Amino acid sequence: MSAPAPAEERGSERGPLAIGVDIGGTKVAAGVVDPGGRVLGQVRRPTPSRDVVAVRDTLLGAVRSLREQFDVVAVGVGAAGFVDADRATVRFSPHLAWRDEPLRDEISQALDLPVIVENDANAAAWAEWRFGAGRGESRLVCVTLGTGIGGGIVFDGRVQRGASGMAGEFGHMIVVPDGHRCECGNRGCWEQYASGNVLGREARELARAGSPVTVPLVERVGGDIDALVGQVITVAAGEGDPCAVELFEEVGRWLGIGLANLAAALDPGIFVIGGGVCDAGDLLLAPARESFRRTLTGRGFRPVPGIVAAALGPAAGLVGAADLARIAAGATTRGDRDGVRETAHGNGTVPSRYRLFGLAEHPEHDRH
Ligand SMILES: [Zn+2]
């Protein structure tokens, strides 16, 4: 995607700003986001390995450096992992050493600002619903394909977090009993068949078996089969490499089957597909739509939900986290005040006046 347009080009005033932070396994990205979803300033820092205190200090440092330039009303932290439904505690994060980490209160005290913590895929889904490819849809499911599969559900203007914050872990639906081992401990999970990792795994397996179809791919990485990772396959597929295109067709087919399962359970109006693998566009989505159409429950007697590429790119997580934090803090636009909080679908065109509602007393303002 292109860089966010300057505010003046999008024709709106700023309104209350919030900082969103996306904590990944390799980098911490923080950005100042306005009520129209525009990123006004951003900093990136490497994630310091698996040291809990160092990660927190990096997060705080990034936020503080942005606060030197911008007045903000809240901070939203998007993190991979299991975040409780109160958006306060990271129960487990696969890339970081957080175990039952009370992140919200720690960060909030250190910054003296309202803070929410959100699962990164939920934050990205929210951003796509508010500002991106799923804007205005009443029932949206977002699926992010990276090393695994992240998922988020936004129904009727609310992120659906489930009873314990675990909703949307679509990647661990079992689609092949006794299939490939998954790091979650089970076998045959969807993300073992439809993610960026799968592209690399399958390419390496084929190459090691000496399959002639992989010869151009192996030459591409100078003979180093271990270097055949998802990103390489994505580039190769874009350039028409037949084996890479075939691998995308296979992953796309599995993507469509899993989406059909989700449609049977959730009946969304639209699926928004994000993540680096989506750079391949229709190389992935065309076979996904095809297998989805052939697998969909009630096909022929129901509208077929759209399957579209995400619009916001890698910034979706921090944009969504910032927006959710701004809304939770009660820093609303005029449009938000019409009886809605998280359900706000204000597009940032009327943020000229706003109020803060008891930030210190009610940091969880939007819970209802
Ligand atoms: Zn799994």
Whole-angstrom distance, CA of residue 52 vs CA of residue 89: 14
What's the CATH fold of domain 136-310?
A: Nucleotidyltransferase; domain 5 (3.30.420)
Q: What is the pLDDT of residue 50?
A: 73
Dist. CA 328 → ligand 1 center (Å): 32
Distance 176 CA to ligand 1 centre (A): 11
**Ramachandran bin of 57, using left for φ above 0, alpha for ψ from -120 to 50, beta for the remaining angles:** alpha
Where do the structural domains in the chain lie, given as residue ranges?
7-126+314-337, 136-310
Distance from residue 255's CA to the centre of ligand 1 (Å): 15
pLDDT value of residue 270: 98
Q: Identify the pLDDT of residue 147.
A: 84
Query: Are 168 and 153 in contact, with CB atoms under 8 Å apart?
Result: yes
Please report the pLDDT score of residue 52 as a whole number: 84
Q: What is the mean pLDDT of the chain?
A: 86
> Given this model, what pLDDT does residue 215 score?
96
Task: Give the pLDDT confidence score for residue 4 in this predicted structure.
Answer: 46
Second CATH level (architecture) for the domain 7-126+314-337: 2-Layer Sandwich (3.30)
For residue 98, the CA-to-ligand 1 centroid distance in Å is 20
Q: What are 10-41's pLDDT values in tens digits?
A: 334 578 999 999 998 788 999 999 999 999 99
Give the distance (Å) from ligand 1 centre to CA of residue 187. 7
**Longest Cα pair distance anywhere in the chain, in angstroms?**
66
Fold: same for 7-126+314-337 and 136-310 = yes
Q: What is this structure's pTM?
A: 0.85
User: From ligand 1's centre to the CA of 33, what distance in Å?
Assistant: 33
Position 190 scores a pLDDT of: 97
> Residue 87: is it exposed, middle or buried by C-beta count within 10 angstroms (0-12/13-18/19+)?
buried
CA of 335 to the centre of ligand 1 (A): 41
Q: How far is the CA of 190 from the centre of ligand 1 (A)?
A: 7
- Distance of alpha carbon 25 from alpha carbon 28, whole angstroms: 8
pLDDT mean by block of 10 residues, the chain; 368 residues: 40 78 90 96 88 90 96 94 84 79 92 95 96 95 92 96 92 96 93 93 96 96 96 94 96 97 97 90 96 94 94 95 95 45 42 31 33
